[in-house]
């Protein structure tokens, strides 16, 4: 009986770690997208500055 409960606990903890990994993956994707947006913005700004000069 106790063995089955332990296996259930392991399954639940594994599910939690999977959810945490998904959250980290989503956050990393968001950070990459944010960095790309910033990079694009800076490139546009530098281009505009060159055009103005």
Provide the pLDDT for residue 53: 67
Q: pLDDT of the chain along its 53 residues, tens only?
A: 566 777 777 787 888 888 999 999 999 999 999 999 999 998 988 888 887 76
**Residue ranges making up the domain that contains 6:** 1-53
Nearest to 12 by CA among 29, 53, 4: 4
Q: Provide the number of structural domains found in the chain.
A: 1
What confidence score (pLDDT) does residue 15 get?
86
């Amino acid at each position: 009986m106790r063995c089955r409960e332990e296996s259930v606990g392991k399954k639940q903890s594994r599910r939690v770690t999977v959810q945490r990994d998904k959250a980290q993956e989503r956050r990393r994707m968001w950070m990459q997208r944010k960095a790309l947006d910033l990079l694009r913005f800076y490139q546009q700004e530098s281009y505009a500055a060159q055009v103005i000069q």
